[in-house]
Amino acid sequence: MDYDDDDDEDTLEQEEATQQIEKSDSDEDIICVVESAPVIEKDKTQPESYETDLEIEDSEKTFTTGQEDLYLEACKLVGVIPVSYFIRNMEETHMNLNHHGLGPKGTKAIAIALVSNTTITRLELEDNWILEEGVLALMQMLHENYYIQELNVSHNHLGSGGAKIITDFLLENTSSLWSIQLAGNNFKDDTAEMFRNALVSNYRIKELDLSHNSFSEKGGEQLGYMLVLNEGLQTLNLGWNQLHSRGAVAVCYSLRVNVTLKTLDLSWNGFGNEGAQVLGEVLKINSTLSYLDISSNHLNNDGANSLSNGLELNETLRILKNVLVTEGFVKQLNGVFSVHPELDVLYGEVIGTISKRVILPSALKLIRTYVVSQNATIFEFFKTIDHLGMTKMPVAEFRKALTVQKKVPLNRIQIRELIKKLDPYETGTVDYSVFEEQPKSQ
């Protein structure tokens, strides 16, 4: 059988941590990383609703047939051309099949092959038109495969039928899956109740992406109710939905009692001042949230002031992203920074001002100038602000240490750019050991 050689393969190899630090012009933010859930033991008892049809000829075939042969036979069974990229990489831990045009049948062939696969832990199938049929095959596969922990099925036209299949699976709370990306699948308010019911008692899912869907008022209320009772989610992306007024208030209000969520994206929802006022009150008492993105939500001066008041009392938030602010808010923010130097607020335009382009020297350049004058090294400088002396520091602690030290005055923009250089992959940890071997002359 001929393989399809037209599949595009983009192989990106991560550079070593000790690579030469390169200049970066991006404005990416540092995001907390959650720990993955351990692989659990397989429960042999499966509900009748999930009697799988992923067998080839008999129940022993998946254990006696090689991985490649099994996949080729599955392709023959469902009538699709094999994907050569899948065959070449089926022994890797990360399988990226995004934008491969698999369709539901191609996805089913992949699912058949993965039933007995024990190496792939991260499966990406974004933008493949897998539809309900394809996602059903995947959920059936996950009843047998307890090795896959991260699944991306974003932008696959799943609709309410696909949401029902996925949430029925999540209700059982038995898989090793801890991360699932479902962005852009045309989920509407009628599916929000499905996710509420599935996630109220599901404690295994730690990371959920529901961005670029169509949740609005009722959907926000259902998701807010879910967050009140859920005890597992640590990262939730609800960006690019339609969470106005009641929906936004419900989600924000849930943060009063939720004790596990660390990262929340509510960008591009247009919830306005009503949501911001609730959020400001919530920030006064929430003690777990560390990253919050509320960019492009039509906040005016009142909304910004509500947020500022909440930030003054919040002890855990580390990143607040892209708020459109006023000069008054900026002044208030300076007071907040004096109390919480570990906090970083990334805002866009300052309303009522004319932007001026200012060129600032890089933090590394200023630090290098200082250490040369002291006959020291950059590594020794960082050691002086690292009280534990481990050469690795959490981003928030590193930001705080650079803010309060007086040897090399740095502003928040300079510190932010330095963090991007020292933590380019956004791991949440700065490793300054890359400077350890540099001589004093550098």
Within 10 angstroms of residue 381's Cβ, the number of other Cβ atoms is 20
Q: Is residue 274 part of a domain?
A: yes
Is 148 in the same domain as 243?
yes
Question: What is the pLDDT at residue 1?
Answer: 46
Q: Which of 185-199, 204-218, 337-351 has the lowest mean pLDDT?
A: 337-351
Higher pLDDT, 63 or 400: 400
Instruction: For residue 349, give both structure tokens.
Output: 């335009």
Is 338 in the same domain as 374?
no
Give the model's confidence band at 14: pLDDT under 50 very low, under 70 low, under 90 confident, else very high: very low
Give the model's confidence band at 370: pLDDT under 50 very low, under 70 low, under 90 confident, else very high: very high
Q: Highest mean pLDDT range out of 14-23, 221-230, 299-308?
A: 221-230
Cα–Cα dist 131/161, whole Å: 9
**Amino acid, res. 56:** I
**Which of 304, 324, 351 delimits the end of a domain?**
351
Classify each residue of 217-250 as buried b or exposed e, where b means 16 or more C-beta atoms within 10 Å of its C-beta: bbbbbbbbbbbeebebbbbbbbbbbbbbebbbbb
Question: What is the pLDDT at residue 141?
Answer: 97
Residues paired with residue 344 on neighbouring β-strands, in sequence order:
319
- How confident is the model over 86-128, as pLDDT tens digits? 999 999 999 999 999 999 999 999 999 999 999 999 999 999 9
Question: What is the pLDDT at residue 33?
Answer: 34
Is 418 in the same domain as 299?
no
Is 160 in the same domain as 252?
yes
Give the model's confidence band at 333: pLDDT under 50 very low, under 70 low, under 90 confident, else very high: low
Mean pLDDT, rounded, for 36-61: 44
CATH number of the domain within which 341 lies: 3.80.10.10
Is 387 in the same domain as 261?
no
Q: What SS3 state is found at 151? A: strand
Is 104 in the same domain as 74?
yes
Specify the number of domains making up the chain: 2
Is 189 in the same domain as 248?
yes
Cα–Cα dist 62/367, whole Å: 59
Q: Is residue 393 part of a domain?
A: yes
Residue with tokens 């419900």: 250
Mean confidence (pLDDT) of the chain: 83
**Inter-residue contact 148 to 121 (CB < 8 Å):** yes
Structural domain including 227 reads: 65-351
Is 282 in the same domain as 419?
no
Question: What is the pLDDT at residue 28?
Answer: 39
Question: What is the pLDDT at residue 425?
Answer: 87
Is 100 in the same domain as 214?
yes
Cα–Cα dist 74/236, whole Å: 35
**Inter-residue contact 399 to 429 (CB < 8 Å):** no
**Which of 351, 378, 404 delimits the end of a domain?**
351
Is 171 in the same domain as 151?
yes
Q: Is residue 45 part of a domain?
A: no
Is 284 in the same domain as 150?
yes
**Amino acid, res. 437:** E
